[in-house]
């Protein structure tokens, strides 16, 4: 299977260049991770990929929080709590792989999908609508 998990589509574009840029970056990283899972990568490789995602998503969340504060977004507290929870979860996922030294690719893929969709599916969409209206 070589199809990418996620494909960037112009429809995803929010019209906020910095957010779009980071979303593209993130999609590329998540695809890379999925690809490596498909190719039965070592646990080390997976941890590497997760580390990159962690670094970039931390920065992405930080930027999003700045934008929310600047726009006095009313869902800030809820959204921020979600960011923190997501970071906690991603750390846990990465640690599990690193600690065991192996992983079950199906389970990991499911966890990551759940992790990714939970946030981007609901809260992010609402935020970006709000921010776009403001500009």
Partner 1 sequence: MKALQAGLRAALEFLSDLLEWAFGSRSNPLAQLGALGWFFFWIVAASGLYLYVFFDTGVTQAYASVESITHAQWWAGGILRSFHRYASDALIIVVLIHLLREFAYDRFHGPRAFGWITGMVALALAYVCGISGYWMVWDQLAQYIAVITSEWLDVLPIFAGSIARNFLHSGELSGRFFTLMVYIHIAVPLAMLAVMWLHIQRHAVSRINPARPLALATLGALLVLALVFPAVSQAPANLDIAPTRLGIDWFYLLTLPGVERWGGGPMWALLGGTAVVLATFPWLIRRRRPPVAVVHLDECNGCGRCVEDCPFTAVRLGPRSDGLSYEQEAVVDPDLCVSCGICVGACPTSTPFRRATALIPGIELPDHPLADMRAAILAASPALSGAERVIVFRCTQSAALAAPDPGVAVFDVPCVGEVPPSFVDFALSRGHADGVMLAGCREEACYQRLGGRWTEARVAGTRDPRLRERVPRERLAFSWAATTQRAVRLADLARFRARLHARAAAGGPTAPETARTVWRRNVRSLLALRWGAQIAWLAAFVAVAGFFSIAPAHQSLAPGEAEIKLSLAHPGQRRIACRELTPQELAKLPINMRRPVNCPRARWPVAVELWINGRRLLAGSYAPTGVWSDGPSVVYTRLEVPAGPLELRLRLRDTGRPEGFDYDQSFAVQLAPAQSLAIDFRPDNGGFVLHGATATGARP
| Sign, Cα dihedral of 98, 102, 107, 112 | positive
As a whole number of angstroms, the distance between CA 3 and CA 102 comes to 24
Which residue from 4, 35, 41, 58 is in contact with partner 1, where contact means CB under 8 A?
58
CA distances to 51, 86, 95 from 90, rounded to whole Å, are 9, 6, 8
Q: Which helix (H) or strand (E) holds 44?
A: helix 43-70
CA distance 116 to 7: 14
CB of 54 or CB of 130, closer to partner 1: 54
Each residue 68-87 as x (binds partner 1 by CB under 8 A) or -, in order, gives ----------------x--x
Q: Does 91 contact partner 1 by CB under 8 A?
A: yes
Residue from 18, 74, 104, 113 that binds partner 1 (CB under 8 A)?
18
One character per residue 101-130, x = contact with partner 1 (rule: CB under 8 A)? ------------------------------
CA distance 36 to 31: 9
47 contacts partner 1 (rule: CB under 8 A): yes
For residue 35, state whether it binds partner 1 (rule: CB under 8 A): no
Binds partner 1 (CB under 8 A): choice among 55, 107, 110, 125:
55
């Amino acid at each position: 299977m070589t199809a990418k998990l996620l494909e960037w589509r112009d429809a995803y574009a929010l019209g906020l260049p910095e957010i779009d840029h980071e979303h593209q970056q993130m999609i590329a990283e998540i695809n890379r991770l999925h690809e490596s899972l498909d190719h039965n990568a070592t646990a080390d490789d997976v941890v590497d990929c997760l580390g990159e995602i962690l670094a970039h998503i931390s920065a992405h969340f930080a930027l999003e929080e700045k934008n929310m504060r600047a726009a006095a977004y009313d869902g800030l507290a809820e959204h921020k709590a979600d960011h923190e929870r997501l970071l906690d979860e991603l750390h846990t996922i990465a640690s599990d792989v690193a600690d065991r030294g192996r992983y079950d690719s199906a389970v990991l893929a499911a966890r990551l999908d759940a992790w990714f969709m939970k946030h981007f599916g609901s809260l992010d969409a609402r935020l970006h609508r709000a921010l776009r209206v403001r500009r």
